[in-house]
Copies of this chain bind each other. A is one copy, B any other.
Amino acid sequence: MQAHPFRVGVAGLGTVGAAALKIIARQDNALTERAGRAIRVTAVSARDRSRDRGHDLSRYRWFDDPVALARSDEVDCVVELMGGADGPAKAVVETAIEHGKHVVTANKALLARHGLDLARRAEERGVALAFEASAAGGIPVVKTLREALAGNRITRIYGILNGTCNYILSRMESDGLDFATCLAAAQKLGYAEADPTFDIGGFDTAHKLALLTSLAFGTEIDAQSIYVEGIEKITPLDLKMADELGFRIKLLGVAERSEAGIEQRVHPTMVPKSSAIAQVMGVTNAVTIDADAVRELTLIGPGAGGDATASAVVSDIADVASGTVSPPFGRPTARLDKAERAPMQRHEGGYYIRLTVHDRLGVAAGVASRMAEARISIESIVQKRPAGSLPPSDKHGRSGDPVPLVLITYAATEAAIREALEKIAGDGLVSEEPQVIRIERE
């Protein structure tokens, strides 16, 4: 056992930071056994010193300036839990690395934007840059990709990476409520921010996906090329139709190796009800990895929350304290491949398309022939008419009222789907923007 304790400085004492302090105190002995040396928090920094965090801070040295903490001689490892893609968080991480200190961070926004540069600096200084808590909170997906699947060639990784979205979709499905109502409920429960755009727009998922893609495929982080679509436009009708057709709707982040390159996308997705990921309800996260040797591996657990995220932070600290320092993204940054971006237009898969059509004879036929022209095969087509109304073939029934027409397609390209939908719109068959939801099969 090493004589010197491993000295940790924590910058940022929000829910995760406070939970990390408590866990390190509570698990003191176990962590010492695990790491082969004592782990001691020696310094902390936060915006507000006086706030009650339910934990006595007097035993740690206080820094008003987190950058000063990052260069303190009393710290071997800086834990950055401040958040933000730039500004102080970036300064703290850069300063810590520059001063030869290990870094543990939960900051996905920072890494999605500057991860490659920071990893390069950490390698040059021979320090760790660990970020298990940055993707899927308490689920050890970073460790799994980087270490456990070292013998695998990964072909696809996809997951529910944002608990807010999954909570909203779960509530919409179980209670038949609309998006706005469920968003308000999520905000009330503290699952969604006052400005929820970052979560519901899919951007938080995209940041996490960017990191997982790099780990899975050994490629440079390429957050800019991620196709992102949020859940704002999902309606109770879509969830009902999904249910009837054997699917659930989840906001997924998907990264896939295709012939066209690496495809990265975030969007509401239809998943078969029987899949492991479809069972994941509420704020829980899940990740499925397809790989040549293990075939399919699914990890399900808490994606957020102070304790769960702190669990990942502490796991990183214990690894670093025990001497495990490997390249942050699984291989030296210089050996990461440039990701060949697969454009979304070339994405190929099944689609759910809900059109709002005028309830007239021949509309379904008109839609179907436009799909055929674009060489799209249709697996099923379902026309919903309000209960009790007459079919349009009846002479009294040709109301032309808007009704939903739902198509499930076999594998088609995004480009073909877009082309067909444009023509259908041009034909005057639809009265609203079509709803398009991609299908992800196991």
List the interface of chain A (C-beta within 8 A of B). 19, 23-24, 26-27, 30-31, 33-36, 132, 138-140, 143-144, 146-153, 218, 274, 276, 279-280, 291-302, 307-308, 310-315, 318-319, 322-324, 326-327, 330-332, 335
Contacts and interface: CB of A to CB of B under 8 A. Distances in A.
Contact of A310 (B24, B151, B312): B151
Contacts of A332: 33
23 contacts: A19-B293, A23-B293, A27-B151, A27-B152, A30-B150, A33-B330, A34-B146, A34-B147, A132-B148, A138-B293, A140-B144, A140-B297, A143-B144, A276-B279, A276-B300, A291-B311, A292-B307, A293-B310, A295-B301, A295-B307, A297-B300, A300-B300, A322-B326
Q: Which 4 A-B pairs have the closest CB atoms?
A: A151-B314, A33-B331, A140-B148, A293-B311
Helix, strand, loop or mixed for chain A's interface? mixed
A301 B301 contact: no
Nearest to A298: B300
Given A23-B151, A218-B30, A314-B150, A307 B323 contact: no
A217 to B, nearest CB: 11
Contact of A147 (B19, B298, B319): B319
Given A27-B152, A293-B314, 8 more contacts: A23-B151, A132-B148, A140-B143, A143-B143, A150-B315, A151-B314, A298-B301, A322-B326
Contacts of A34: 146-147, 150, 326, 330-331
A293 B312 CA distance: 9
Nearest to A331: B33
B311 A151 contact: yes
Contacts of A293: 19, 23, 138, 307-308, 310-311, 314
Nearest to A292: B307
Contacts of A291: 311
Contacts of A323: 323-324
A31 B150 contact: yes
A299 B136 CA distance: 14
Contacts of A298: 298-301
Contacts of A302: 294-297
A296 B146 CA distance: 22
Contacts of A153: 26-27, 30
A123 to B, nearest CB: 11
A144 B300 CA distance: 13
Contacts of A312: 148
Contacts of A150: 27, 30-31, 34-35, 314-315, 318
A316 to B, nearest CB: 9
A318 B124 CA distance: 22
B151 A24 contact: yes
Q: Which residue among A218, A294, A299 has the maximum number of chain B CB atoms within 10 Å of its CB?
A: A294
Given A27-B151, A143-B143, A327-B33, A301 B297 contact: yes
A152 B300 contact: no
Contacts of A152: 27, 311
A295 to B, nearest CB: 6
